[in-house]
């Protein structure tokens, strides 16, 4: 077992141990112990309610993250490559990132109802600005010497982008993508809490209403675990696509 894995396990043990101790003191009557929350998680997993909830939660999350990734990286590339696009689009995404999302949800509900469309929009509003701004910053910081070298070897404009700019900017782009996925998870749960109580958001809302705090914390914990798994898969994908590309190379 390598040292990074040991340190990760140690970190998890410290957090879960602190949670268990805080629940046994107790710090709050609404805070269950770690083992109580895990018992509730396994109970929901075995009776199928957790999987049914995730079937609902993952729909807007998957659609929203996919749209945000494709459009966000595409727009970010153009913003980073063109000053005109930068002037046109950067202020929009900066405002989107700074705007209070909770205040926008009633407007989305008025325009698109309480169905899947509104929830997808919430995920996109949360995820896309992070992806666009990180991609644009990564492209702008691509070493000029690399692009000039490509042109000196008669590379076309598309070849410079595909073979020089994107690989050089990939570490920061994937960092933005990971942050965007994290924000997308927040958006998906927020939409279920604020628009209609469905999926995992319904478990959280219902468990809180009947003071079943173990189930509430179990649902929250499951979302965190799923987000961590997604982020690790993105990291593996980055390594597979850009194997040998040094991290942080774009900012050297």
| pLDDT tens by residue, 69-128 | 999 999 988 888 888 888 888 888 888 777 777 777 778 877 877 778 888 888 888 888
| Cα angle for residues 146, 150, 151 (degrees, 5° grid) | 120
More confident residue, 66 or 148: 66
pLDDT per residue over 20-53, tens digit each? 999 888 888 888 999 999 999 999 999 988 998 8
Domain residue ranges of the chain, discontinuous segments joined by +: 66-244
What mean pLDDT is reported for the chain? 83
Q: What is the pTM of this model?
A: 0.79
What is the per-residue pLDDT for 248?
A: 44
pLDDT at 1: 53
In our burial notation (b when 16+ CB lie closer than 10 A, e otherwise), range 231-240 reads: beebeeebee
Q: pLDDT tens across 2-17, in order?
A: 677 788 788 889 999 9
Query: 66-244: which CATH number, 2.40.110.10, 1.10.3720.10, 3.40.50.300, 3.30.70.1560?
Result: 1.10.3720.10
Distances (CA, A) of 112 to 36, 42, 163: 39, 36, 41
């Amino acid at each position: 077992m390598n040292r990074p894995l040991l340190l990760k396990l140690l970190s998890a043990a410290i957090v879960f141990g602190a949670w268990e101790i805080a629940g046994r003191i107790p710090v709050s009557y609404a805070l269950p112990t770690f083992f109580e929350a895990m018992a509730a998680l396994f109970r929901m997993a075995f009776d199928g309610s957790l999987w049914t909830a995730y079937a609902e939660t993952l729909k807007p999350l998957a659609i929203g993250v996919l749209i945000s990734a494709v459009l966000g990286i595409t727009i970010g590339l153009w913003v980073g490559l063109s000053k005109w696009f930068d002037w046109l689009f950067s202020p929009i995404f900066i405002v989107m990132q700074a705007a209070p999302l909770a205040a926008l949800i009633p407007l989305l509900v008025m325009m698109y109802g309480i169905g899947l469309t509104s929830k997808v929009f919430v995920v996109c509003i949360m995820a896309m600005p992070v992806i666009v701004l990180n991609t644009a910053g990564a492209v702008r910081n691509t070493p000029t010497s690399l692009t000039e070298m490509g042109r000196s070897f008669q590379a076309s404009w598309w070849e410079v982008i595909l073979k020089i700019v994107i690989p050089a900017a990939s570490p920061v782009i994937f960092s933005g993508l990971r942050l965007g996925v994290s924000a997308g998870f927040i958006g998906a749960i927020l939409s279920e809490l604020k628009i209609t109580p469905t999926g995992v958001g319904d478990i959280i809302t219902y468990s809180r209403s009947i003071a079943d705090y173990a189930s509430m914390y179990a649902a929250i914990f499951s979302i965190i675990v799923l987000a961590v798994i997604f982020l690790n898969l993105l990291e593996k994908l980055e390594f597979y696509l850009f194997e040998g590309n040094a991290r942080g190379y774009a900012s050297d």
